[in-house]
Amino acid sequence: MLTNTVASEFLYQFGVSIIESLLFILMLWINLLPEPFRDPFQFAFMQRALLTSMLVGCVCGVLSCYVVLKRWSLLGDAISHAVLPGVAIAYILGWPFFIGAFTTGTLTSLGIGFIERNSRIKEDAAMGIMFTGSFALGVVLISHIATSTHLMHILFGNVLGVRIPALLLTLVCSVLTITVVLMLYKEFQLYIFDPIQANTLGLNTAKLHYGLMILLTLTIVASLETVGIILVVAMLITPGATAYLLTNRLSKMILIAALIGISSSVIGLFLSFTYNLASGGAIVLVATVLFFLAFFFSPHQGLVQRVYRVKQRDIEM
C-alpha cells in the first residue's frame, strides 16, 4: 500500500514537472509577442488556462475531422450531456468525477453503436434515444442532491480556474488520444472514407467504430471539467468543418483543424481577458469567425470564389 502511494506521488510530481516545463516553453514563445499581447499571460492562472485550452483545441481539432467526415456532429453533444448521471453517481459514491463521467459516457457511446448496428434504428435516432435517456437519468439523480449547483459548475467548467490535477488529466488524455490516432491513421482513414473496402481488407470496422467513439468520450470527459460543455462540443465540430472547406486531403485537414483549435484558444483567451468576456464563449466565437472566413473566402470552396466562377462561366458563354 505504501509502495503504491509513493509510486502515485512520484508519477504526480513527474506530471507536474512536465506541465511546468510546457508552461516555461509556452511563455518563451508568448514573450516574443508585442507587449499588449503578452501582458495578459503573465498571470499564472492565464498560463494554465492557455495551456489547457491549447491542449483541448488541438486534440478536439484532430478528432473533429473524423466527426465531420463521419457526420457525427450530434454525437459529441450527446456524449457531453450523457456524462451527467456518471458525475452524479460519482459524487454520491465519493469517487473521482472522471471515473463516473467516463463510464457513463462510454456506455452511452457504445449503446448508440450497438443499437444502430443491431436494429433498423438509424444512427441519429439512436443518438437521440441514448442522449435523452442518459440526460434524464442525470437530471433525476441531481435533483436529489443538495449540491446540484456544484455539479452543474463541474459540467460547465471554468478554464480560468483550472488547477494542476485537472490540467494533468487533460494532458494525459490528449497525448493518449493523439498517439492512438497517429498509430491507427491509415486504418481510420480507410474506415472513414470506405468502410466496405476496409472490411474487405480484413480490418475490424466494428473495433475502429467503437474505438473512435471511446476516443471521443475520453476527450470530452477529460476536457469537460476544465473547459465545459459548450467549448468541447464546439471544438469537436467547428475546426474540422473549417478545415474541410480548405483542403481535400485528410492529413492536411487534421493539421489545419489542430492549428485552428490552438489559434482560437490563444486569441479567444486574449479577448476574454482584455474585454472581460466569458473565456469559453470567446474561444468558440473566434473559431466560428474563422469558419465563416473560410466559408466565404476559401480558395476552392468559398462562396465568393464560387460566385466568381459562375459569373466567369456566364461571361464566356
Residue 256 lies in a domain: yes
pLDDT at 101: 84
Domain count, the chain: 1
Residue 217 lies in a domain: yes
Burial of 11 (0-12, 13-18, 19+ CB in 10 A): exposed
Residue 69 lies in a domain: yes
Distance CA 235, CA 288 (A): 10
pLDDT at 186: 92
N- to C-terminal Cα separation, the chain: 82
Residue 27 lies in a domain: no
C-alpha cell at 103: 463510464
Say which residues have a Cβ less than 8 Å from residue 68's Cβ, sequence separation at least 6.
Answer: 237, 240, 241, 244
C-alpha cell at 63: 478528432
> From residue 104, how far is each of 85, 111, 119, 206 by CA, in Å?
7, 10, 22, 20
- As a whole number, mean pLDDT of residues 4-19 equals 81
Of 211, 261, 255, 212, the residue nearest 236 (C-alpha): 261
Burial of 246 (0-12, 13-18, 19+ CB in 10 A): middle
- In this structure, what DSSP letter does residue 166 have? H
For residue 302, the tally of other CB atoms under 10 A from its CB is 17
pLDDT at 240: 94
| Per-residue model confidence as pLDDT tens digits over 149-189 | 555 555 666 788 888 888 898 899 999 999 999 999 999 99
pLDDT at 258: 95
Q: Which domain holds residue 75?
A: 40-316
Indicate if the pLDDT at residue 277 is higher than 90. Answer: no
Cβ–Cβ < 8 Å for 65, 250: yes
Q: Please give the residue that has the higher pLDDT: either 80 or 257.
A: 257
Distance CA 45, CA 53 (A): 12
> Which residue shows C-alpha cell 487533460?
170
| Per-residue model confidence as pLDDT tens digits over 121-160 | 877 788 888 888 888 888 888 777 755 555 555 566 678 8
Residue 16 lies in a domain: no
Indicate if the pLDDT at residue 1 is higher than 60. Answer: no
> From residue 249, how far is each of 95, 209, 252, 257 by CA, in Å?
43, 21, 5, 12
Residue 187 lies in a domain: yes
Residue 67 lies in a domain: yes
Q: Is the dihedral of CA 258, 263, 268, 270 positive or negative?
A: positive
3-class secondary-structure state, position 49: helix
Amino acid code (one letter) for 147: T
C-alpha cell at 84: 451527467
Distance CA 52, CA 26 (A): 12
**What is the chain's mean pLDDT, rounded?**
85
Q: Give the CA angle between residues 207, 216, 240 to the nearest 5°.
A: 110
For residue 30, the tally of other CB atoms under 10 A from its CB is 19
Q: Please give the residue that has the higher pLDDT: either 107 or 142.
A: 107
CA atoms within a 13 Å half-sphere pointing along the CA-CB vector of 269: 29
pLDDT at 3: 64
Residue 34 lies in a domain: no
What's the residue count for the chain? 317
Cβ–Cβ < 8 Å for 247, 77: no
| Per-residue model confidence as pLDDT tens digits over 60-91 | 999 999 999 988 877 777 777 788 888 888 88
pLDDT at 152: 57
Cβ–Cβ < 8 Å for 190, 197: yes
Distance CA 296, CA 303 (A): 5
pLDDT at 89: 85
CATH code for the domain in which residue 225 is found: 1.10.3470.10
Distance CA 145, CA 165 (A): 25
3-class secondary-structure state, position 48: helix
